[in-house]
Amino acid sequence: MAPEDADGKPDTLPGRLKPTRVGAEPAESPSMATEVVIWGAGGHATVVADLILACPDYRLAGFLVEAAWRASAEPALAPFILGGREQWNNLRSRGVRHAVVAVGDNGARFALGLELAAAGFAFPTLVSPAATVSGSAGLGAGTVVFPGAVINAGARIGRHCIINSGAIVEHGAELGDGAHVSPGAVLAGKATVGERTGSGAGATGIEKVTVGPGSIVGAGAVGVDNLPGGVVAFGVPARVRRSNGNL
């Protein structure tokens, strides 16, 4: 049986969520934690919520998703969905001015980040306590780093990136805005991947390899040669299989 928290609820994700209703007075908090709202309510959003709940500096305000997508929301998150874009002004008026975009599609995640920024939201950088990040690495706003990930010296990670569980970004590697390094993927030293790129689970990019913007490198692939932008590549070694039109 799951342990219970102070409110008698099971210590699971739903039991630990305590979002404030939109329009309600903010609850008093002795820690004065910054409230953060998550855009998205799928599986990725549950993991981002865990990062927020693990950080005493932040408090989860709830989830946002447009009505057309609510049927595909994780059932555990459905009671905590506050609405969609129509709630942005309400949230900011009650002091919720920080957001994280928890959307798996790289292009959509980055575009939503720009839209939220234009609406006046700022973006925390969330790092799991179980991740290892060098003090000389740089992480962009809205980027999330999950448990077991390693980001080594001098790496540069753009805005709204996902460094997934167990991923490794080695020294001097660079990731453009909106990139995603999937679980167990490795980018070796000084590798460079463009904005909105995706490295599949267990994929490897060797030292100094370059991947152009919008490209997808399939699960388990080994990138030994530079790849252009807007393509799908997979295999060992990774070869371009088709265009994806995501330049």
What's the pLDDT tens digit per position in 104-140?
999 999 999 999 999 999 999 999 999 999 999 999 9
Mean pLDDT, range 174-181, rounded to an integer: 98
Which pTM value belongs to this model? 0.88
pLDDT above 50 for 25: no
Mean pLDDT, range 82-103, rounded to an integer: 96
- Residues of the chain above pLDDT 70, percent: 87
Separation CA 73–CA 39 (nearest Å): 11
Mean pLDDT, range 177-194, rounded to an integer: 98
Catalytic residue among 44, 98, 160, 171: 171
pLDDT at 28: 42
Collapsed DSSP state (helix, strand, coil) of residue 182 = coil
pLDDT above 50 for 229: yes
Runs of H (alpha helix) within the chain: 13-16, 43-53, 88-93, 106-118
How would you class 24 by CB atoms within 10 Å of its CB: exposed for 0-12, middle for 13-18, buried for 19 or more? Answer: exposed
User: Does 171 participate in catalysis according to the annotation?
Assistant: yes
pLDDT above 90 for 96: yes
pLDDT at 13: 52
Separation CA 143–CA 151 (nearest Å): 13
pLDDT, mean over the chain: 89
